[in-house]
Homo-oligomer: A and B are copies of this chain.
């Protein structure tokens, strides 16, 4: 029989995102996967918030492709194979003009953390038959989505009782810093110093193709800096509202700015949130051993610190890179299914 789930696409009008610093829309599409029995029963279901990676948003999880499954296809299969519990999957849109919000509150992008915690979680509980408790609510994602999952669960264990991060941004000296020189190279085609970044921000972040070499390195930098080292007053002086963690002429690390970034590094956040982390029913961290951003090293460091604090976790590595690894959601959903309360 293998019943199929259904997808409902909500339009959510956010008060919190209204008038956000980048003038990004405050009305967002919110696809929600409902498992097969949702339609045929009156039961309540656990909920998983699935956070998208950098430059992604919820709706993209519905895209079809010849050789990989969309999230609904994946869930239908996993449920029919009994590898996954019937759960509601919520796929938020937290994209920004610069590629992503990292799911945190920032004066550079907006209050995306609040948007999820204060708006989406209660909204989902009010509209769908959820089990509205932390032990039945998980957050997961890969890449920047894994970062978001890690940080949201760390800060809000009363909301998300389970978290899974696949190749999540961690150990910023290994995942971001090595690309600063590439970003510098990418900027230099547009001019010198701040003017180059201003040009990029103003003229290059759009859907025009082809993109110049190193485009993604610059975009990534802008995206992260707008989250980690916002500088609202910078708009006037430099033409953009964040600080760059290196000298825009030589590339020399600006330790003062980079230290601001490090405050958001999950590896460094453990110390502050260790008590919260102990409350989680599931911490699952994995990464590919050929991850181009060294996120397998990040994951190892993260886990070694959890261990130091006697916090329980599951850690896996798989033989792949950072790309095309959505098949790891199989493992994520499986791990959540084992630990989530239904």
A residues at B contact (CB < 8 Å): 55-56, 59-60, 63-69, 73, 95, 99, 171, 173-174, 177-178, 180-181, 184-185, 206-211, 215, 247, 249-253, 289-290, 294, 296-297, 300-301, 303-304, 320, 324-327
Query: Nearest Cβ in chain B — how far from A60, in angstroms?
Result: 7
Query: Nearest Cβ in chain B — how far from A249, in angstroms?
Result: 7
Whether A181 touches B327, Cβ cut-off 8 Å, given contacts A63-B63, A99-B66, is no
Contact pick for A173, options B66, B171, B177, B325, CB 8 Å: B177
> Are the C-beta atoms of B297 and A250 separated by less than 8 Å?
yes
Q: How many copies does the complex hold?
A: 4
Q: Could you list some 11 contacts between A and B, CB below 8 A?
A: A60-B64, A63-B63, A65-B207, A66-B99, A67-B209, A68-B207, A177-B178, A181-B294, A181-B296, A210-B325, A251-B301
With a 10 A CB-CB cut-off, give which of A55, A56, A251, A290 has the most chain B CB atoms. A251
> Are the C-beta atoms of A300 and B250 separated by less than 8 Å?
yes
Contact pick for A251, options B60, B174, B206, B290, CB 8 Å: B174
Interface of A is mostly: loop
List, in ascending order, chain B residues with CB within 8 A of A180's CB: 174
> Are the C-beta atoms of B56 and A66 separated by less than 8 Å?
yes
Query: Nearest Cβ in chain B — how far from A242, in angstroms?
Result: 19
Given the complex of chains A and B, what is the CA–CA distance between A322 and B95 in angstroms? 29
> Are the C-beta atoms of B173 and A207 separated by less than 8 Å?
no
Query: Nearest Cβ in chain B — how far from A79, in angstroms?
Result: 16
Query: Nearest Cβ in chain B — how far from A6, in angstroms?
Result: 18
> Are the C-beta atoms of A297 and B181 separated by less than 8 Å?
yes
> Are the C-beta atoms of A320 and B210 separated by less than 8 Å?
yes
Query: Nearest Cβ in chain B — how far from A57, in angstroms?
Result: 8
Contact pick for A211, options B67, B174, B301, CB 8 Å: B67
> Are the C-beta atoms of B301 and A250 separated by less than 8 Å?
yes
Given the complex of chains A and B, what is the CA–CA distance between A309 and B210 in angstroms? 35
> Are the C-beta atoms of B252 and A301 separated by less than 8 Å?
yes
Given the complex of chains A and B, what is the CA–CA distance between A174 and B326 in angstroms? 31
With a 10 A CB-CB cut-off, give which of A207, A208, A215, A294 has the most chain B CB atoms. A207
List, in ascending order, chain B residues with CB within 8 A of A247's CB: 304
Name the residue on B nearest A77 (C-beta).
B207
